[in-house]
Structure 1
């Protein structure tokens, strides 16, 4: 990969000042790129052999980190401490300290863990947090809410974790957390198909039930119909009417928590079958809390399927406090879809404080207050909620701003960075290492370096003015994702040039004029798709600025008559823009110029939003909030919010998000689809 920019003097802290030729691939950079590959393969011998060749390179700290991290389990304390001293204050020093703390925790070496922890600056590893709480508990000075902190960290983890599981086991044994709290962790694992997480929780709370738990999760229908021949008699289809065979009396001795796990697991694939088994057979075997959780899981799955039965399932819950925040969110979404504002309010009010504070639920709580015939007090409360989140930064912030009577306009710019502020950013070692790594192809490492250097919780963390200058530094190097993300962190002002840049301006405007497409919509989509990274490639193979899939690109190229197209052209700026905008225009045509539907089609494929639009005619904001895919739901809202901001910039006029939303409902059955073969 070629370095495509001449950097300012790099690594001031290491007293290095140099710039690489724009067209040359430095041999030392190849050493770093090779070492990264060796680290990923676990090739210790190659790492050790190449390390001397990285001496003096601006990214030498990474080379040293990879070499030591690969053998950290066998490294001596002296080696580790020498690394900390050598790279003091850098990201890799703190990264290795994080790794070392995890190893010390796994070894139960609590004294060295306690000695090492105070110097750990990031404090963002949940396992380290749990180990730290465990050490405090063992020493007798844990905070009063240590159990709640351990549970919060553990439940937020998506993978098995020694630290939080070990802390939970100790606090459970000592009465600082309850068995039900651990069982809830097991349920969350069962719901998300993370069997290892569920197993980890059951190992903590009831290890004697592990074998049965495996049966309950592997074959929930069979487990729940024990004694009926083992054929699994729960209805297999969502609309099936099969009768459930009676469960043998001996089956009622199955532990109620395992029955709960099995019902939750079954609900993920067959919520009607789970509902039938719960209602007909197992309801009396479970506690009220367990029944509520299972009905919540069933209701959520019905809501995810956009079924109008969802609210009937949620109505069986006797206490909302027994539900997870995710279940409550889907109750609120299903209630929005059903137009039941009272239940929207109940679902939101039962969420924990942090979830209720999210702009999504602040906005919908205000809307619920204004439904029907609100009192003056309710109107005042709603306006206060709108005012709390109103702004230009996001989807619900923009909607709330419009509810206050304003429109989305370009904010007044801050004073530009001074010469001194720019010089400080250019001299920052971490920022230089970050940009250097990104520009030679070590994007992951560069992003971590950059983020660490701009984080307020680390040495050299930045205030608003410093963030503005750092963003300007990234913008000047055309590293647009760091430019945007850094600028988004300023609290006291908004620099729209940084937050909403318009690279390739002439090419985009020329192309959109040619095909009759709104340039603001294209920019809003590209900003979300790739952050303007030309060589971006997603985990599913989408490429370039507009993140076009190869099969879609071939279809679109044929459709627009682009001769001689091959998918290796997708990283070419003009070709990517031509293909991406053409497909977006075809999607808009197919979905009656609905911006939300076309954005959903661009992200999830057109087949899904064709199905998602069926049902009642809805405000587009309600429709978007009910999109079943988390990624697509977030994507649609961000693309539309971006679009409004870009429109304000391009036109110089105040804009309305509401006017771009409209309503969404089933396609007119009398009108054929314009592009039935749209992939």
Structure 2
């Protein structure tokens, strides 16, 4: 038995645990076809399969409208604390709500973990029957710029009936919807407002078709609240592309608006300008009072101030944020940096000390600000064979690996994420090592990243595909630590990764990029780079990375941004003068690209350490971003 166990640790589990997989897939197909007799016939052969609880779940879900209370209760007890039980409970609650069995609903509600918005609104329907004060306490749910589930509608109707929500709240949500780009919801909100008319609907359609022309029309009405909301909508549309034009129009029109609306308009324009790194952004922010700026707008004011290195304005913006935003790592870091620049060192040091004990981009920068020997380092821990074996025996882990073995990574990810959420550090590292041996690197990385006191850099920063990757790094003269850091962020070393926009493979290459690289290399075959061919994918991706690195003055920060968002954007985001790398990164307009570059650069530092390189700090690696080249558009 010991020999079999050691073999299982060396070879992927899918070679040893395929028994019953065919029957399970047969049962799954039968469920999808509604062939319940076939499912029942397969049950005896599936009782020992790791995914058998799903077969039971599917059978129970098919009967929930019959209210099989005892069967539901037994299932929930049998799989208590596991993902399958939470899934059944969520579906059971929806059935109870549909049947208006609110007492039973509330009895089961507290055991549900992570309810979605639909279920949260169903719970409010139940709660309001007992206490109408629930409506006032949950008024904030109304103010969303996105569509909400149908289950929320009856709650909102009750809020209107009781006077918790009023006509002004309809217009406020319409504005939120328009700001979020949800024109359909915005129109629906305005049409619900009591002051809305057919003439207002025509005005809105005109503003949607050509917002610039709408604002330029001398007959533009601003007398009613509806007319003013349409004008603000048109202003936001113009500002998103041409903030200077919007500012010119608003300078002319804003006198016809209330002070609140004037300041709201300047806030819209200022954010649009800050996103485009306009030098006028801070001037326009000053025309919008702090009380009129929401959390996102305050963040953009802080970014605009960072670009100008206006440390007083950076600090003022951060301190004006709500705690939820102010306490984010990025703003804690820049608050500390601002305090230091303003000569308030004693206030900055405790902030940096707390940050330095965390594990992320800004934690590394904070640690470097403080210098060496800041607090105890996490303890290195290498999981034992017992740790790995214990992880493999956790039911949720076994189910996740079974899904993974069947090629159903999405389902496997759900099981894995649920199961590891409350594990201790030793168990997390045992599970991470198990995932690594399976070649499931994304789970190995994410699981090892969750530890608090113990750490294992080899699991957080694995190094598969070494032969291919290092060969291409040498061929194209690219730093292999940076290359590993980029691939870790791009695909988590999943060679079969496919993005929603068509990027493929380890380095997430787009078909157009693959064609372009093939032409540059004089190759006819470009499809292998976007198929499951690691060597070709690494070769094409590394060539392209080197190309943008050279094109962007040898800056790995710019090249990383270009790899994610395109060279032209990375070039446009540069300033007219050299800029600290951390400021460039934290003022990138796209959230995805900001996070991407942070992680790629932080990853590269960790990989360099793993490779035994001379200790290079993150601050040194990101360095200074060179000034924008006059007339350069970044190329292709």
Query: Which bracket does the TM-score occupy, shorter chain normalised?
Result: 0.7 to 0.9
Answer yes or no: is the 8 Å Cα contact 1:47–1:66 preserved in 2.
no
TM-score, with length taken from structure 2: 0.86
Closer/same/farther in 2, CA of residues 219 and 59 from structure 1, 3 Å limit: farther
Q: Is the 8 A contact 2:576 2:628 kept in 1?
A: no
Alignment of structure 1 residues 82-161 onto 2, 5 Å: 82-83=71-72, 85-86=74-75, 88-89=79-80, 90-102=82-94, 104-105=96-97, 109-120=101-112, 122-140=113-131, 147=136, 151=140, 158-161=146-149
Q: CA deviation at 1:624?
A: 1.5
Aligned in 2, Cα 1:506/1:147: closer, same or farther, shift over 3 Å? Answer: farther
- Alpha-carbon shift at residue 597 of structure 1 (Å): 0.7
Change (3 A) 1:427 1:197: farther
Superposed displacement of residue 643, structure 1: 0.8
For residue 104 of structure 1, report the CA deviation from its aligned partner: 4.8
Structure 2 Cα separation of the partners of residues 214 and 45 of structure 1 = 47
Q: Residue 22 of structure 2 aligns with which residue?
A: 27
| Cα pair distance change 1:342/1:248, threshold 3 Å | same
Residues in 2 aligned to 1:501 and 1:261: alpha-carbon distance in whole angstroms? 49
Conserved? CA contact 2:517–2:543, under 8 Å:
yes
Indicate conservation of the 8 Å contact 1:260/1:294, yes or no. Answer: yes
Q: Does 1:206 align with 2:193?
A: yes
Q: Greater RCO between the two (CA within 8 Å, min separation 6)? A: 1
Query: How many angstroms does 1:99 deviate by?
Result: 3.6
Find the partner of 2:315 among 345, 366, 384: 345
What is the CA distance between 1:475 and its match in structure 2? 1.7
> Alpha-carbon deviation of 1:379?
0.9
Checking the alignment, whether the CA contact within 8 Å between 2:367 and 2:374 is kept in structure 1 is yes
**8 A Cα contact 1:392 1:408, kept in partner:** no
- Structure 1: any 5+ residue segments left out of the alignment? 9-17, 39-43, 225-230, 235-243, 457-461
Trace 1:26-105 onto structure 2 (pairs within 5 A).
26-28=21-23, 30-31=25-26, 34=29, 38=32, 44-45=33-34, 52-53=41-42, 55-56=46-47, 57-63=49-55, 65=57, 75-79=64-68, 82-83=71-72, 85-86=74-75, 88-89=79-80, 90-102=82-94, 104-105=96-97
Counterpart selection for 2:479 from 513, 518, 524: 518
Do residues 385 (structure 1) and 351 (structure 2) align?
yes
| Closer, same or farther: CA 214–117 of 1 in aligned 2, 3 Å | farther
Residue 3 of structure 2 is matched in structure 1 by none
Q: CA deviation at 1:410?
A: 12
Question: Aligned to 2:176, which of 165, 188, 209?
Answer: 188
**2:404 paired with 1:438:** yes
- Tell me the equivalent position of 1:397: 363
- Pairs aligned (count): 622
More moved, 625-634 vs 98-107: 98-107
**What aligned pairs does 1:349-364 form with structure 2 within 5 A after superposition?**
349-364=319-334
Mean Cα deviation higher: 621-630 or 187-196: 187-196
Task: Name the SS of the counterpart of 2:509 in structure 1.
Answer: coil
Correspondence 1:248-267 to 2 at 5 A: 251-252=223-224, 254=226, 256-257=228-229, 259-267=231-239
Counterpart secondary structure, 1:554: helix
Q: Which 10-residue stretch deviates more, 624-633 or 659-668?
A: 659-668
Q: Which residue of structure 2 lines up, in the alignment, with residue 544 of structure 1?
A: 505
1:253–1:169: structure 2 CA closer, same or farther, 3 Å change rule? closer
The answer as to 2:273 corresponding to 1:302 is yes
Whole-angstrom distance in 2 between the partners of 1:497 and 1:322: 48
Deviation at residue 528 of structure 1 after TM alignment:
0.5
Q: Is the Cα contact below 8 Å between 2:356 and 2:367 reproduced in 1?
A: yes
Superposition TM-score, scaled by structure 1 size? 0.81
After TM superposition, what 4+ stretches of structure 1 lie above 6 angstroms from structure 2?
A: 5-8, 22-25, 210-213, 221-224, 407-410
Quote the RMSD (CA, aligned, Å). 3.7
Give the 3 Å change call, closer, same or farther, for CA 614–379 of structure 1 in structure 2.
closer
Distance 2:209 2:522 in 1: 55
